Amino acid sequence: MKKIILSVAVATMALSTVASALEDIKVSGQAKLWYETSDIAGAGYGLPNGAPAVGTVGTPGYIAAIPAERSGDVFSTDESSGEVVFKLAMTGKQGNVGFGATLYQTSTMGLEGVVVSADRTNDTNLHTTNGAPFVGEAYITAPLIASTIMKFGKQELDTPLAFTETWNATPNTFNAAVLVNNSVDNLTLIAAYVGQGNTDGSFKTEGDVTNQYFGTAYAVAGLYKTDAFGVNVWGYQINNALSNGFTWYTAAPATFSGVSVNALWADATFKAGVVNIGAIAAYVTHDGDNAYVSTIDEDATSAFALSADTTVSDITLFAAASTVSEGDLPVANTATGFKKSKLPTEAIYTDGLYVAQPGATAFKLKASGKLGTTGLALQGVMNKNSHDNADSVGALGLSGTADQHETTEVDFIVSQKLGDFNIMGVLMNRSFADNATDDKIGGNYVRVVTSVNF
């Protein structure tokens, strides 16, 4: 007994010593239920009634065979997807070195076949990971020289063309090294290397951050901000895009060497009286002709956008317009198959797969405010495409023909805090110029996200 007591005492002293050496330890967490349903038969799958199974049971991306008859009713199991996510995070310091780690546990909680028929990620108990916990972030921060900080490891990123999307059940993250310098007042200089991510080239995360990010990517930026205005300029190089890691062009053979993508992004914000003005210009190009993909002919893509917002009687009014030239590649998030973009004309589902695609022109209007403690927002987006209806959008045909991109979306968003719970509800309506696309994914959607932070 004395030996046991002594061992416990030694262990306690050791833990106390470690804890005393660490500073500013902060632990936080979140439990979240993510749920979406619609009145579209086969919603969430994009597959018609009677479609065969996709993939193999127990592997990422598996979808069960679609019944010949589906209800198409809101809140029915067939037309619903969802997931439960538990998150635990810790940050701290030891001397000048900081650290951070975030652990995720995803699960259907047995909801499949009862409440939902699909999940939101590729790391739940329906896949090969069997819902195993995974580390989304594990990084250190350390000072280098001349007001320069390095952040190294698994982390979230927020850059215009490679960023973490937080709208889904779990965010995508990266294995990256980022240098941030603040030697000059009002100016931040950034240099980044991105080596891996945790998606398969779509919006669904796949657990641990182990997927190759193409042939690696590099970014540099200068961010200047004063009280009067702000200007941000980013430059990118992505090696061997379309071949390694995330797959943009699924038909390419293993021997396809890919193309190197170079991009520039600039955005500015300033005030004109009571109106906030934003402007964006972007340019995406690549190293050209490829014998395997005959439609790659070095056509660069450029994008421009303007936005304005102001507050009138506690109601914020917002308007934006964007246009993208008929180039080869979209101007959106390279980490998620262009799912989301930083263009101001996005709606909830009329996102980077629409407004950021080559040939797109989009317009957005939004009004938001509060009614008591309830947040309310109403927005509408219309997206057109300059290609002929039968033409593929972009050289790679990444997301269908032009008329499949002619879409209008209206969203009504409600947010409310009930005790310790944060609740967001969304009502969406989508319609398409192409009848087949409208039958497939046009209609009404309902999304509810409930979370509690601790």
Q: What is the pLDDT of residues 284-301, one digit of tens each?
A: 998 765 555 545 566 889
The answer to the question of residue 155 being in a domain is yes
Whose tokens are 């970014």? That residue is 219
pLDDT of residue 262: 93
Instruction: Tell me which residue of 316, 298, 315 sits closest to 307, measured CA to CA.
Output: 316
Band (pLDDT 50/70/90 cuts) for residue 310 is very high
Residue 86 has pLDDT above 80, yes or no: yes
- Identify the weakest region by mean pLDDT among 205-209, 245-249, 434-438: 245-249
pLDDT of residue 9: 44
- Sequential DSSP letters for 312-355: ETTEEEEEEEEEE-S-SS-SS-GGGTT---S-TT--SSSSTTTT
Q: Show the domain range for 252.
A: 25-453
**11-44 pLDDT, tens per residue?**
344 434 544 556 789 999 999 999 999 987 655 4
Tokens, residue 414: 């409600």
Instruction: Tell me which residue of 38, 52, 33 sits closest to 108, measured CA to CA.
Output: 33
pLDDT of residue 258: 66
The answer to the question of residue 406 being in a domain is yes
Higher local confidence (pLDDT), 92 or 50? 92
State what percent of residues in the chain have pLDDT above 90. 55
pLDDT of residue 32: 97
CATH of the domain at 217: 2.40.160.10
- Identify the weakest region by mean pLDDT among 43-52, 149-158, 268-277, 339-348: 43-52
Tokens, residue 52: 């065969």
Band (pLDDT 50/70/90 cuts) for residue 242 is low
The answer to the question of residue 13 being in a domain is no
pLDDT of residue 27: 95
The answer to the question of residue 4 being in a domain is no
The answer to the question of residue 147 being in a domain is yes
Contacts (Cβ under 8 Å, ≥6 apart) of 299: 326, 327, 328, 395
The answer to the question of residue 380 being in a domain is yes
Residue 213 has pLDDT above 60, yes or no: yes
The answer to the question of residue 20 being in a domain is no
Range 73-94 average pLDDT: 90
Residue 134 has pLDDT above 60, yes or no: yes
State residue 78 phi and psi, 5-degree precision: -60, -30
Tokens, residue 295: 């439609």
Report how far Cα 28 is from the mean position of its chain's Cα atoms.
22
- For the chain, the average pLDDT equals 84
Contacts (Cβ under 8 Å, ≥6 apart) of 244: 212, 214, 215, 258
The answer to the question of residue 139 being in a domain is yes
The H or E element containing residue 2 is helix 2-21
Tokens, residue 72: 């198409």
* Sign of the CA dihedral running 260, 302, 204, 29: positive
pLDDT of residue 10: 43
pLDDT of residue 246: 47
pTM (two decimals): 0.86
Higher local confidence (pLDDT), 131 or 374? 374
pLDDT of residue 249: 47
Residue 125 has pLDDT above 80, yes or no: no
Domain count, the chain: 1
- Which residues lie across from 409 on neighbouring strands? 381, 430
Band (pLDDT 50/70/90 cuts) for residue 421 is very high
